[in-house]
């Protein structure tokens, strides 16, 4: 009899603990998505076709999207996105605001890097961005930037798309840096570097692709280097690199 009462009491405590845990954490939707997908909530106009197309883009890239067909402006204000950076829909994922037609790839990068920031925005509705692309737009692809919104409302370019590459004969600026890591298996190199003017990139640490995997044979972690970089098909790419004497 006492054993049965004890088991019932423990079951009650376990249930209360589970309920308390559920109350403490964010709603279940914010923690887990269907079939292991990343949950994201969006606020948009019910009649906006390009918003629907952007949702389709996210769902095709591993996001589980909860759609609200109202409240875009209120969500933008609530999440701290400056009005001048606004677009036709606002989303929330893992505590970050996502404003406008941001590619799924950059949202994934944001969730991996976890910067101290409000989130990402693609202001306006540039043709060629996800949801604003395809045959209905004549397959036109205008240049656009994904901006990282800092806590103070300032921005910096997080990634550029559809911008012309450096042409033959054009000289890329040489940048001083230090090799942090060389990953030959993936063809990537991590560099701490100064400002890269042609990419509008401030001094920071960044993982780059390399134009030629053989470049990675020339350097090792800790080397002081000079290198050039460009944006190739949306990827920041080291074009040349040499160890500094």
The string of DSSP letters for 89-101 reads: EEEEETTEEEEES
Residues in contact with 9: Cβ distance below 8 Å, sequence separation at least 6, in sequence order: none
- Residue 214 belongs to domain with CATH number: 2.40.50.320
Q: Are residues 33 and 100 in the same domain?
A: yes
Q: Are residues 185 and 157 in the same domain?
A: no
Q: Are residues 83 and 150 in the same domain?
A: yes
pTM above 0.75, yes or no: no
- Quick check: 179 and 219 in contact, CB under 8 A? yes
Q: Domain range spanning residue 206?
A: 175-243
Q: Are residues 148 and 220 in the same domain?
A: no
| Percentage with pLDDT > 90 across the chain | 66
Q: Are residues 193 and 122 in the same domain?
A: no
For the chain, the domain total comes to: 2
Tens digit of each residue's pLDDT (9 = 90 or more) over 47-68: 888 999 999 999 999 999 999 9
Note whether residue 17 is domain-resident: no
Q: Residue 153 has what DSSP assignment?
A: S
Q: Are residues 73 and 108 in the same domain?
A: yes
Tens digit of each residue's pLDDT (9 = 90 or more) over 204-227: 999 999 989 999 999 999 999 999
- Quick check: 59 and 36 in contact, CB under 8 A? no
Q: Are residues 156 and 35 in the same domain?
A: yes
Tens digit of each residue's pLDDT (9 = 90 or more) over 103-130: 999 999 999 999 999 999 999 999 999 9
Q: Does 169 score more than 70 pLDDT?
A: no
Domain-terminating residue out of 108, 135, 161: 161
Q: Residue 61, Cβ neighbours under 10 Å: how many?
A: 15
């Amino acid at each position: 009899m006492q054993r049965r009462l004890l088991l019932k009491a423990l079951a009650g405590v376990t249930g209360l603990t589970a309920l308390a845990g559920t109350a403490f954490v964010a709603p279940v939707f914010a923690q887990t998505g269907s079939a292991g997908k990343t949950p994201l909530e969006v606020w948009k106009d019910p009649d906006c076709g390009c918003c629907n197309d952007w949702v389709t883009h996210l769902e095709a890239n591993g996001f589980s999207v909860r759609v609200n067909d109202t409240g875009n402006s209120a969500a933008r204000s609530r999440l701290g996105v400056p009005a001048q950076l606004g677009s036709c829909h606002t989303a929330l994922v893992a505590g970050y605001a996502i404003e406008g037609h941001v590619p799924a790839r950059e949202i994934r990068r944001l969730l991996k890097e976890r910067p101290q920031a409000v989130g990402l925005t693609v202001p306006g509705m540039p043709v060629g961005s996800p949801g604003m692309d395809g045959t209905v737009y004549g397959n036109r692809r205008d240049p656009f930037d994904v901006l990282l919104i800092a806590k103070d409302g300032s921005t910096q370019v997080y990634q550029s798309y559809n911008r012309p590459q450096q042409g033959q004969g054009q000289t890329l600026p040489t940048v001083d840096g230090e090799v942090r890591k060389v990953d030959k298996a993936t063809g990537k190199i991590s560099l701490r570097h100064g400002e890269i003017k042609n990419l509008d990139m401030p001094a920071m640490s960044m993982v780059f692709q390399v134009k030629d995997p053989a470049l990675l044979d020339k350097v090792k972690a800790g080397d002081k280097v000079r290198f050039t970089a460009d944006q190739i098909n949306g990827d920041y790419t080291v074009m040349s690199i040499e160890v500094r004497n």
